[in-house]
């Protein structure tokens, strides 16, 4: 009679779920990633999928593509924008051509802690940027984490900004990063992420900058000798959905997507925080020489970078820069 009991339970569940489930259709959507499958974004996507299974009775399925298999950040985002592809997890930095206000995240040394970044992104300021993304056909379902960016290179430890002199540094396709590193005396070269490994390997470039977990999972450390903890920027991942496709979904489907992206975000952020030091340790064990930057040298880098703030403020939007700085000042109790 346990089979009968199970059948009764199942029937009750189906009846209970019946009206809601009618709002969900079978949908499979593609999520493009530049990073590899062993990055915590995948951990977050698994949690997001479990949440979607619950919320939609298993009707909504995500299919992750990794290592730029569907194109680099910019290319994949264009495809999402034009409705050819459903979703992309991308850095904000290559998208400043579409939404200049996103450049705020590229300003050197803006955030000091992940908690500051979370509070700004998940609050009203993040919503302001989401509205601007919406205007160009992109629904930002949530700010996931890439993280604080640090330097790797094949030449020497970076301890002060002067150590950048003449170094060939790959930067993202973003003028704020380009100017930040040029201003330090580096030979900054914009390049898409997919080209970085081989450019480092062939010594076409000496250096790149990314969070530890990305340097680890994308294997850049295999062709680098030095790691320097500059924490010169915190850049987020945006979980972008095609507005053209999103608009064809029912309100219930849209809500499930929004809610579950936030569930995934929290799991992903926690996974990165867990993995950060582990990735660093692994890379040191692989033979990379590691150094931190002393606070005075860090402060000097920040001061030296003020010209970058001045130069880019208008193009980001003076109101946007003022808003984030006011929010941070308030949080810091200044």
Contact footprint for ligand TF8 (CB under 6 A)? 34-35, 73, 90-91, 146, 172, 193, 210, 214
- Of the pair 55, 207, the CB lying nearest ligand TF8 is at 207
In the DSSP assignment, the letter for residue 184 is T
Residue 192: phi and psi, rounded to 5, are -75, 155
Rounded least distance, CB 200 to ligand TF8, Å: 12
- Of the pair 49, 90, the CB lying nearest ligand TF8 is at 90
Paired tokens of 325: 């700085």
Rounded least distance, CB 164 to ligand TF8, Å: 17
Rounded least distance, CB 21 to ligand TF8, Å: 35
Rounded least distance, CB 282 to ligand TF8, Å: 18
- Of the pair 172, 308, the CB lying nearest ligand TF8 is at 172
Residue 17: phi and psi, rounded to 5, are -85, -15
Where do we find the tokens 């459903």?
Answer: 86
Q: Is 54 helix (H, G, I), strand (E, B) or coil?
A: helix
- Of the pair 94, 137, the CB lying nearest ligand TF8 is at 94
Rounded least distance, CB 89 to ligand TF8, Å: 7
- Of the pair 73, 253, the CB lying nearest ligand TF8 is at 73
> Which residue is at the shortest CB distance from ligand TF8?
34
Which helix (H) or strand (E) segment holds residue 290: the answer is strand 289-292
Rounded least distance, CB 151 to ligand TF8, Å: 12
Question: Given 3-state DSSP classes, what are the helix, strand and coil percentages for the chain, each rounded to the nearest 5?
Answer: 55, 20, 25
The answer to whether the CB of 153 falls within 8 A of the CB of 163 is no
Paired tokens of 234: 């915190």
The answer to whether the CB of 262 falls within 8 A of the CB of 142 is yes
- Of the pair 56, 91, the CB lying nearest ligand TF8 is at 91
- Of the pair 60, 110, the CB lying nearest ligand TF8 is at 110
Can you tell me the distance from the alpha carbon of 49 to that of 230, in angstroms, rounded to the nearest whole number? 35
List Cβ neighbours of 58 (8 Å cut-off, separation of 6 or more): none
In the DSSP assignment, the letter for residue 250 is -
Residue 102, classified by CB atoms within 10 Å of its CB into exposed (0-12), middle (13-18) or buried (19+), is buried
Rounded least distance, CB 256 to ligand TF8, Å: 25
């Amino acid at each position: 009679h346990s089979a009968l009991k199970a059948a009764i339970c199942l029937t009750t569940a189906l009846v209970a779920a019946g009206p809601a489930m009618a709002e969900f259709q079978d949908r499979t959507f593609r999520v493009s990633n530049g990073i590899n499958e062993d990055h915590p974004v995948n951990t977050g996507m698994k949690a997001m999928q479990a949440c979607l299974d619950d919320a939609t009775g298993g009707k909504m399925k995500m299919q992750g593509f990794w290592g730029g298999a569907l194109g680099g950040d910019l290319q994949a985002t264009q495809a999402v924008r034009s409705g050819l592809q459903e979703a992309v997890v991308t850095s904000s930095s290559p998208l400043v051509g579409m939404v200049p206000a996103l450049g705020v995240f590229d300003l050197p040394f803006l955030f000091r802690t992940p908690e500051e970044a979370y509070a700004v992104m998940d609050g009203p300021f993040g919503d302001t940027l989401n509205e601007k993304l919406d205007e160009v056909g992109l629904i930002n379902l949530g700010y996931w984490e890439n993280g604080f960016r640090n330097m790797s290179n094949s030449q020497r430890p970076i301890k002060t900004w002067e150590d950048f002199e003449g170094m060939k540094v790959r930067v993202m396709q973003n003028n704020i990063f380009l100017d930040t590193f040029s201003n330090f005396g580096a030979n900054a070269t914009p390049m898409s992420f997919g080209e970085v490994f081989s450019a480092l390997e062939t010594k076409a470039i000496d250096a790149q900058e990314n969070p530890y977990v990305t340097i680890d999972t994308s294997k850049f450390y295999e062709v680098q000798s030095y790691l320097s903890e500059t924490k010169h920027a915190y850049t987020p991942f945006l979980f972008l959905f095609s507005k053209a496709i999103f608009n064809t979904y029912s309100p219930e489907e849209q809500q499930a997507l929004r809610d579950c992206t936030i569930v995934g975000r929290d799991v992903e952020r926690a996974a990165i925080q867990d993995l950060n030091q582990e990735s660093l340790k692994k890379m040191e064990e692989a033979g990379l020489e590691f150094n931190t930057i002393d606070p005075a040298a860090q402060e000097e880098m920040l001061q030296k970078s003020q010209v970058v703030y001045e130069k880019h403020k208008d193009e980001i939007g003076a109101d946007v820069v003022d808003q984030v700085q006011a929010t941070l000042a308030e949080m810091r109790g200044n």
